[in-house]
Amino acid sequence: MNVICSTLNAKYIHTNLAIRYLKSYASPEFTIQIKEYTIKDPIMNIVTDLYLQKPTVIGFSCYIWNIEETIKVVSMIKKVDPSIIIVLGGPEVTYDTVEWMGKIPDVDFIVIGEGEQTFKQLLTELETTNNYRSVPGIAYRKNEQVIMTPQMNKLDLKDLPSPYRFPEDFPYLGKRVTYIETSRGCPFSCQFCLSSIEVGVRYFDREKIKDDIRFLMASGAKTIKFVDRTFNISRSYAMEMFRFLIDEHLPGTVFQFEITADIMRPEVIEFLNQEAPKGLFRFEIGVQSTNDYTNELVMRKQNFAKLTRTVTMVKEGKKIDQHLDLIAGLPEEDYSSFRKTFNDVFDLRPEELQLGFLKMLRGTGLRLRAADHQYIYMDHSPYEILGNNVLSFDDIVKIKQVEDVLEKYWNDHRMNQTVEYLVSEVFASPFDFFQQFGSFWEEQGWSRIGHQLEDLFRRLYSFLEEQSVKDLDIIVGLLKYDYLKNHKYKPRKPWWEASFDKEKRAQLYKQIAERPSLLGKPFMELDLDEKDLFKHTMLEELTFDLSEYLTTGKIEKHPTCLLAYFDPMNERTLIFSSKNM
C-alpha cells in the first residue's frame, strides 16, 4: 500500500509530531510518506499534490485549527478518486466520533485517542483480512451503521521508537519549530482542557529523549518546544532535564516549556538564574484567571501568590523570557473581574501576555455542562464562546479590542518605554489603556487595514492627542526614543517632523564634533567626525532629561538633545543625550 500521513499546520514554521510517531511506529512493516501543508494553502494545491502521489490510504491529523479545511480536502479527494481510503485521527475527532462519521460521509475510518498502535493494526487489516472489529479504538461503517471498537490500554511510552530520524526532515530543522514530548497526560483537572480527560501522567524513556535532543541539535534544530502539559510536575525530572540541556546545548538553540508556575520551587529558579545561559529557555505559563471562584468552578488549583513569586524571580534573573496566558470567558468571570485578572497579571510585566478566549472543546467538562452557565458558542471549530450568563457578546467584542492592540504594542516590544509610562503614569490601569486605545483603534477602522511601523507610532499619537492626555510632550519624547532605539539603520522618513531645521542641525553637529564630551565618554570613544554625524546620526530635541528618566524613572523637565547613532558596522543603534547643548 502507498500510505500518506498528512496534516494542515497553522503556520509553515510548525511541524506535526503525531504523524511522525505514526510513521516511526509503523516501520518497517509499512513505509509511510509524510505530507504537511498549512491552513492557508489553496485546497486545490493540497489535493493535487496528494493525488499525484497515487496513495492507497491517507491519514489526516485533525485539530480545532485545521478541521474545517481538512474536511474540504477530504471531500475533494473522494470526488476525484473514491478508492482512496481516508482515515482521520487527532483530538478534534476523538470525541463526538459518531457525529463526525455522520458529518463527513467521505471518511472511511476514525482513529480514537492514542493512535500509534491502532493505526498500524488498521493498516495491517486493510492489507490482509479487513477484520476491522479486531482493531481497538476505531470507528468505521458497516451496512450504513457506524461501528466503534473499544479502545486499548495506554501504550508504554518507553517502547515508542524515535520520530526524529527521517532524513527528509533534516533540511528544515533550522527553519521550523521542532516539537518534543517527554510525557503524556496531566495531573490536573481543568475543565476547559482536553488534558483533563486523560488520567495520570506517563513518561518516555529519559535517555532516549536525551539522545533525540542531541541528534536534533546536531542535525540543525534551533527551536525545540516541549509539548508536555506540565513539564515541571516532577521536580527531580525537571531538574535533571534542565541540567542536561544547560550542559549539552549547542549555541543558538532555544528550548520552550509549558510550566506550572505555582508549584516551581525557589531553589529550581535560583539554579536556573545561576546556571542557564541567557535566552536558552523560554517559559509558557497558563494563568487563565486570578478569580478564585472561577478557578474553583473549572477545578483549577492555582496559588497566585506563589505564581507571582515564580514569575518575579525568573524575571529578576534576566535569563528566561516568559509568556503568560489568560482566558476570557471562564465561568462567572464578568468584564469587571476579567479587568482585574488582566491587571493582576500585567503587573508582573511578562515579556508576552497572550489574551485568548474560551473555546468549548469537544469532550471537556465545560462543554458538557455549558448550559449551567448559559454558554453560547460557535457551532464550528474553534468553538469560541459568544457569551454566557455574566459576559455578553458586547463585552467579548470590547476585550477583543484589547487583544488587538496588546499584541501590537506590548508583545511585539516596539515601544517599551512609552507603554510603560502610559500604563504607570497616565491611565488608571494597564487594562484601561489597552481598552480605550483598542476601542479608538476599532472606531478608526484600523483593525481592517495593514500597518507599517511608522503607522503604529502615528496612530498611538493620534489616540493620545484625541484623549488630551497630560504631558503629551514627554510621551512624544519617549515615542521618539523607542522608535529610534529599535532601528538598525537610519530611518529615511520618521513619523514626526524634525525638531531642527538644516541650519540649526549643522550648528549642533559642528558643536558635537568639536566637543564630543557633551554626550559622554561612551560617545567620545566612537570618534565620529562631522561627516559621520551627518551620515549616521539623527538629532532630536526633548523636553525632559532622558538619561535621568531611563536611570531613575523620574521626569526632570529640561530641554535635552537626543542623538541616535546608527552603527553601520554592528547593525545597532546607540542613543545619547545631553541637556548642556
Q: What is the DSSP string of 31-99?
A: -EEEEEEETTS-HHHHHHHHHHT--SEEEEE--TTTHHHHHHHHHHHHHH-TTSEEEEESHHHHSSHHH
CATH, domain range 157-359: 3.80.30.20
CATH, domain range 3-148: 3.40.50.280
CATH 3.40.50.280 residue ranges for the chain: 3-148
Q: How far apart are CA 86 and CA 84, in angstroms?
A: 6
Q: Is the four-CA dihedral 210, 212, 217, 221 of positive or negative sign?
A: negative
Task: Give ∠ CA 50-41-455 in degrees, rounded to 5.
Answer: 165
CATH 3.80.30.20 residue ranges for the chain: 157-359
pTM for the full predicted model: 0.93
Q: How far apart are CA 385 and CA 329, in angstroms?
A: 7
Q: How far apart are CA 82 and CA 573, in angstroms?
A: 61
Return per-residue pLDDT of the chain as tens, 581 residues: 999 999 999 999 999 999 999 999 999 999 999 999 999 999 999 999 999 999 999 999 999 999 999 999 999 999 999 999 999 999 999 999 999 999 999 999 999 999 999 999 999 999 999 999 999 999 999 998 999 999 998 999 999 999 999 999 999 999 999 999 999 999 899 999 998 887 789 999 999 999 999 999 999 999 999 999 889 999 999 999 999 999 999 999 999 999 999 999 999 999 999 999 999 999 999 999 999 999 999 999 999 999 999 999 999 999 999 999 999 999 999 999 999 999 999 999 999 999 999 999 999 999 999 999 999 999 999 999 999 999 999 999 999 999 999 999 999 999 999 999 999 999 999 999 999 999 999 999 999 998 889 999 999 999 999 999 999 999 999 999 999 998 888 988 889 998 999 999 999 999 999 999 999 999 999 999 999 999 999 999 999 999 999 999 999 999 999 999 999 888 899 999 998 77
Tell me the residue ranges of DSSP E strands in 467-544: 537-544
Which single residue is written with the C-alpha cell 482521520?
88
Q: How far apart are CA 89 and CA 138, in angstroms?
A: 9
Task: Give ∠ CA 321-326-330 in degrees, rounded to 5.
Answer: 160
Q: How many residues does the chain have?
A: 581
Say if strands 537-544 and 557-567 run parallel, antiparallel, or are unpaired. antiparallel
Q: Is the four-CA dihedral 462, 465, 471, 472 of positive or negative sign?
A: positive
Beta-carbon contacts of 166 under 8 Å, excluding residues fewer than 6 positions away, are 20, 23, 24, 34
Q: How far apart are CA 286 and CA 298, in angstroms?
A: 14
Question: pLDDT for 419-461, tens place per residue?
Answer: 999 999 999 999 999 999 999 999 999 999 988 899 999 999 9
Distances from the Cα of 196 to the Cαs of 189, 230, 301, 307, 363, in angstroms? 4, 12, 13, 21, 10
Question: pLDDT for 103-146, tens place per residue?
Answer: 999 999 999 999 999 999 999 999 999 999 999 999 999 998 99
Q: Which cell numbers in the block locate residue 549?
A: 528618566
Judged on CB neighbours under 10 Å (0-12, 13-18, 19+), 65 is middle
User: Quick one: which of 198, 184, 287 has its CA closest to 226?
Assistant: 184
Q: What is the DSSP letter of 384?
A: B
Widest Cα–Cα separation across the chain? 93
Alpha helices, DSSP H only, in 515-562?
521-524, 530-536, 546-552
Q: Check if the beta carbon of residue 406 is closer than 8 Å to that of residue 399.
A: no
Dihedral through CA 445, CA 448, CA 450, CA 451, nearest 10? 40
- Provide φ and ψ at 532, rounded to 5°: -60, -40
